[in-house]
Structure 1
Amino acid sequence: MKRNATAVWNGAIKTGSGKISTQSKTLDNTQYSFKTRFEEGVGTNPEELVAAAHSGCFTMQLSAFLSEEGHTIEEIQTKCEINLVEGTIIGSHLTVEAKIDGISNDEFQKLVTKAEENCPISKLFNTKITSSATLS
């Protein structure tokens, strides 16, 4: 399987702007710029897109591991925070809240760690990845 996205940039780094489109067209000429990346502005930025990819991938992987163990999933919500310092992503933190019937906290934490280590986006990163998870 191969997926793609395209970025187009016009102008200088601080005054220019770009548009990002995905193969699925979920993002279709979505605006991004220096302002949306380093200040406040309407549009997206690469770190936000990485956070979306990591939270989505991790959540699907956790769902797969929970299902393999026979657990019924009511809901899993994952927030990903990407930490960019001096031009380098130095970490990705996943905050997980889940409603799962009949699972102990110990087993849940074990499967969270397994998903954190095994989702394809986690494997792509060459950075520290951490998580905190709450079972409700």
Structure 2
Amino acid sequence: MTKNTGSAKYEGLGKDGKGHVSTGSGALDDQPYGFQTRFEDAPGTNPEELVAAAHASCFTMALSFKLAEAGHEDGTVETSAEVTLSKDGDGFAVTKSALSTKGKVPGLSEEKFVELAKDAKANCPISKLLDTEITLETSFEG
């Protein structure tokens, strides 16, 4: 079992509040977040952006392991994730995560790449965590 940590502090309340988020590893250290970074274009991050980064990185790693298990030794996989935050009653909910992945693996067919990508999506721990629609778009260069 692996455990990782993150922390957040919010000073002030509601729209006027300002927050800072950090990860236990120090990869993020006191990064600003708040209403302005979430719903406007202020510099900083927001929870949905962090979920998108987590989903893209988890899926990409899962796919790279599927490719290695299939006997491939070299290649590149690049993924972006777009997380949708939608109005849900009186609040909001993450309703979708759209993965878009590109692969370049010598000796691999596009059909096999798509098959392995679908398997990686189904078994990615962050995909399993999200109670939302997850779509996958692939492009491949052999």
Does the TM-score normalized on the shorter chain lie above 0.5? yes
Alignment of 1:25-104 (within 5 A): 25-86=26-87, 87-104=92-109
1:131 and 1:93 map into 2 onto residues whose CA distance is 6
Gaps of 5+ in 2: none
- The answer for the alignment partner of 2:126 in structure 1 is 121
- Return the letter of the residue paired with 1:85: S
- Return the letter of the residue paired with 1:46: P
Q: 3-state SS of the aligned residue for 2:37?
A: helix
1:39 and 1:73 map into 2 onto residues whose CA distance is 41
Gaps of 5+ in 1: none
- The answer for the alignment partner of 2:138 in structure 1 is 133
Q: 3-state SS of the aligned residue for 1:14?
A: helix
Deviation >4 Å, runs of 4+: none
2:62 and 2:23 map into 1 onto residues whose CA distance is 22
2:21 is the counterpart of 1:20:
yes
Q: 3-state SS of the aligned residue for 2:96?
A: strand
Contact 1:78 1:97 in 2 (8 A): yes
1:13 and 1:21 map into 2 onto residues whose CA distance is 20
TM-superposed CA distance for 1:35, in Å, is: 0.6
2:10 is the counterpart of 1:9:
yes
Give identity over the alignment, percent: 44
TM-superposed CA distance for 1:72, in Å, is: 3.2
1:76 and 1:68 map into 2 onto residues whose CA distance is 15
Q: How many residues align?
A: 136
TM-score relative to the length of structure 2: 0.93
Q: CA RMSD in A?
A: 0.7
TM-superposed CA distance for 1:17, in Å, is: 0.6
2:70 and 2:3 map into 1 onto residues whose CA distance is 29
Q: 3-state SS of the aligned residue for 1:126?
A: coil
TM-superposed CA distance for 1:113, in Å, is: 0.4
- Return the letter of the residue paired with 2:42: G
- Deviations for 1:3-46, whole angstroms, at most 9, x for unmatched residues? 01001001121011100010000101110010100111100000
TM-score relative to the length of structure 1: 0.97
